[in-house]
Amino acid sequence: MTTAAIVQARMGSTRLPGKVLAPLADRPVLDWVVAAARRIPGVDQVIVATSVADADAAIADWCAANDVACHRGPEQDVLRRFAEAATGAGADTILRLTADCPFLDPQVCGAVLALLRRSGADYATNAEPASWPDGLDCEAFTTAALTRADRDAGAAGDREHVTPYIRHGRGQFSVRTLPCPLPGLSHERWTLDTPADLDFLSAVAARLPAGRPASHIDVLRVLDDNPELRDINAGQIRNAGGANALEPAVPAAPRPSYARSAAMLERAEKVIPLGSQTFSKSHIQMPEGAAPLFLSHGRGGRVWDVDGNRYVDLVCGLLPVVLGYCDPDVDQAIRAQLDNGISFSLATELESALAERLVEIIPCAEMVRFGKNGTDATSAAIRLARAFTGRDRIAVCGYHGWQDWYVGATTRDKGVPAAVSALTHRFPDNDTAALDRLLRQHPNEFAAVILEPVTGQTASGAYLETVRDITHRHGAVLVFDEVITGFRFALGGAQAWLGVTPDLASFGKAMGNGMPISAIVGRADIMAEMEQVFLSGTFGGEALSLAASIAVIDKMRREPVIERLWQTGERLAAEVRGLIARHRLDDVVSLVGQPPWTLLSIRDHPRARGAAIKTMFKREMFANGVLIGGSHNICHAHDDTDIAVVARAYDRTLARIAGALDGDRLEADLGCPVIEPVFSVRTQP
């Protein structure tokens, strides 16, 4: 097997022209990269791949003067350039390097190459998800995979940046990643993209050992001895030049293919009811034949389906993914704990460490117990309230999970005993008179009032204070269901944001950035009932989720995550409201709620039912590169490009809806059955 290390190089950098031949210490940057490439274990030859542009003749001249093989190919179609270089070298395996990474570590690159070979994968990398320093990136792939990508890739971003088609086509290529074993290195910046980067690299290079390519340990030693050097190029965006490569294709035609999704659904339905574990993630909530049904992976604020289509994700796992997919800090915490174990025979210190953090940040939290999902936490709150008060009836507003005590009071009550359903009473959102009237109808019988403190219409401290007063006047326990609002509206939930403290509260979803964990927190005297009330599960202390949640909280304390959720959500909502007005759909489509979680309200039109309009909305948004349900579920990783993609998708989608309504043909144009809601739990205008 022959392996070629191909170094991608060009002179035409926007931010630092001519950077690859810029002097670093006593020699050009490209010389550093080539020297490191030649020392990579398993590499047989090193080739510099540059373009036929006049400016890149300087690179070819340098290669000729230094006895380095050089291939010149298309300037914009870098994928074709790489494929030509690989074919010319007769290599079976390619190691892709870039000429702006002078501190490449040959041993790290060799490990990526070994991972590719030993796993039998088509592609291996240490660059995604980011866990190594920016500047140690390398990718290994088979020439067969490269050739197939060159043949099939059509999007401009897939051809300009070489590997997106391979690494995100998980349904077609097998992909492996090499995570960094050292914590906290994803924030290190050792790449060359700006004048500040060159100043930083020069300062580090002057302190490195001479005579051999530096290892990443050498560089870390310099930086740990001279931490002030990190300030030279601090605050820059990782992979700024590659952002366009991740931009989802937004084709007018042809429509995306969902053939693999359809085939996978047929397979799944043979062994899984509805082919999915969750109603709202199943095919019954998707436009038939015009939607992705299975995802393969996510990065940041984006996901890829099994057909290779890319989307900005506004579902975010139904809100748990608050930081973004593969957040490096959370993933590192999980990996570190994985080395010690997952579930243990006794309690671990992690349980106390996380509980102490929750007590510090959540106003009502004096004691804590953990579960695995929001239903665990809300159901625990109800059982506690019943034990504490000696009463049975529950007043509910909003959505609180799938357990009998709640879902028995909805239209999804099949399988729930009537006697259980009769104990749960619904009251309308933002109607304190109705709540008071309900509690008076059954004096001294209500154990708890449970509600979502923020919904599409309600975000009022005064309203919640009145609810609390009514609840306590009737001797009941007030429970806030903060499964959505916790770690999203504020670190301590809506109660911290609005300044109203309940007796108990349930948290989940964003608490672990996608890991399965929830918590019931509250007053110590009520929580003490846990000593007698049976709430006990094998995985309540599962350690990976505890470690993930600690990492989430620590990151939210350290960085402006919550502020970014509000700012990004507000920007997107403002863009969308402007587009709704431009397309004259204000009477049909509106946004309600708060920026971190904005609900989409679609109403009936004289020429089409609201459900039909929403079906077309989903179909068109999917086709234009946005995965969306009925809300904007913002995550910390959503960036400017994501917002632009979503705004463009909204513009095209609303134009399509407006045209169909004007022509009185919307339902006729659907081409699929209208999606009917699972059930309605939140009042919208």
**Does one domain contain both 600 and 507?**
no
Half-sphere exposure of 633 (CA within 13 A, CB side): 26
Do the strands 295-299 and 302-305 form a parallel or antiparallel pair, or are they unpaired? antiparallel
Q: What single letter denotes the amino acid at residue 646?
A: V
**Does one domain contain both 184 and 267?**
no
Half-sphere exposure of 243 (CA within 13 A, CB side): 14
Q: CA-to-CA distance for 671 and 615, rounded, in angstroms?
A: 10
| Residue closest to 28 by CA, chosen among 201, 169, 287 | 201
What CATH number did the domain enclosing 292 receive? 3.90.1150.10
- Contact yes or no for 316/631 (Cβ under 8 A): no
**Does one domain contain both 414 and 540?**
yes
**Cα separations (Å) of 548 from 297, 334, 603, 637?**
19, 6, 40, 17
- β-bridge mates for residue 28, sequence order: 23
| Residue closest to 69 by CA, chosen among 60, 77, 81, 78 | 60
- Contact yes or no for 192/144 (Cβ under 8 A): no
| pLDDT, position 681 | 58
| pLDDT, position 255 | 79
Which of 512, 532, 558 is the C-terminal boundary of a domain?
A: 558
In a domain, 537, yes or no: yes
- Contact yes or no for 625/157 (Cβ under 8 A): no
In a domain, 128, yes or no: yes
Do the strands 631-633 and 597-602 form a parallel or antiparallel pair, or are they unpaired? antiparallel
As a three-state string, the secondary structure of 269-337 is: CCCCHHHCCCHHHCHHHCCCCCCCCCEEEEEECEEEECCCCEEEECCCCCCCCCCCECCHHHHHHHHHH
What CATH number did the domain enclosing 176 receive? 3.90.550.10
Which of 245, 262, 297 is the C-terminal boundary of a domain?
A: 245
Q: Which residues of the chain have pLDDT under 70?
A: 170-171, 238-254, 458, 679-685
**Does one domain contain both 234 and 335?**
no
640-653: b (≥16 Cβ within 10 Å) or e: ebbbebbbbbbbbb
Whole-model pTM over 0.85: yes
In a domain, 322, yes or no: no
**Does one domain contain both 546 and 599?**
no
**Does one domain contain both 136 and 239?**
yes
In a domain, 210, yes or no: yes
Q: Which residue has the tokens 């051809």?
A: 159
**For the residues of 197-265, what is the DSSP string, one character each?**
HHHHHHHHHTTSPSSSPPPHHHHHHHHHH-GGGGGTTTTPPTTGGGGGGGSPP--SSSPPP-HHHHHHH
**Does one domain contain both 567 and 550?**
no
Half-sphere exposure of 547 (CA within 13 A, CB side): 19
**Does one domain contain both 343 and 444?**
yes
**Does one domain contain both 363 and 303?**
no
In a domain, 685, yes or no: no
- Contact yes or no for 621/675 (Cβ under 8 A): no
The residues, any chain, with a CB within 8 Å of residue 32's CB and separated by 6 or more, are 24, 102, 103, 104, 213
Q: CA-to-CA distance for 177 and 297, rounded, in angstroms?
A: 13
What is the domain count for the chain? 3
| Residue closest to 83 by CA, chosen among 159, 30, 12, 137 | 159
Q: CA-to-CA distance for 15 and 189, rounded, in angstroms?
A: 16
Q: Which residue has the tokens 């609180």?
A: 400
What's the token pair of residue 534?
Answer: 């049976």
**Cα separations (Å) of 344 from 21, 209, 292, 373, 536?**
55, 45, 38, 20, 15
- Contact yes or no for 258/289 (Cβ under 8 A): yes
**Does one domain contain both 547 and 621?**
no
3-state secondary structure of 597: strand
Q: Which residue has the tokens 């709704």?
A: 580
Which of 199, 223, 245 is the C-terminal boundary of a domain?
A: 245
**Phi, psi dihedrals of residue 627, rounded to the nearest 5°:** -95, 120
Q: CA-to-CA distance for 24 and 565, rounded, in angstroms?
A: 40
In a domain, 335, yes or no: yes
What CATH number did the domain enclosing 428 receive? 3.40.640.10
Chain-centroid distance of CA 370 in Å reads 23
**Phi, psi dihedrals of residue 379, rounded to the nearest 5°:** -70, -35
Q: CA-to-CA distance for 386 and 479, rounded, in angstroms?
A: 12
In a domain, 32, yes or no: yes
Neighbours of 459 (CB within 10 A): 18
**Does one domain contain both 198 and 121?**
yes
Q: CA-to-CA distance for 452 and 467, rounded, in angstroms?
A: 12
Domain of residue 410, residue span: 328-558
**Does one domain contain both 517 and 496?**
yes
In a domain, 581, yes or no: yes
**Phi, psi dihedrals of residue 613, rounded to the nearest 5°:** -65, -40
Q: 106: cis peptide before it, omega within 30°?
A: no
What's the token pair of residue 386?
Answer: 């019943």
**For the residues of 96-108, what is the DSSP string, one character each?**
EEETT-TT--HHH
What's the token pair of residue 263?
Answer: 């085939």
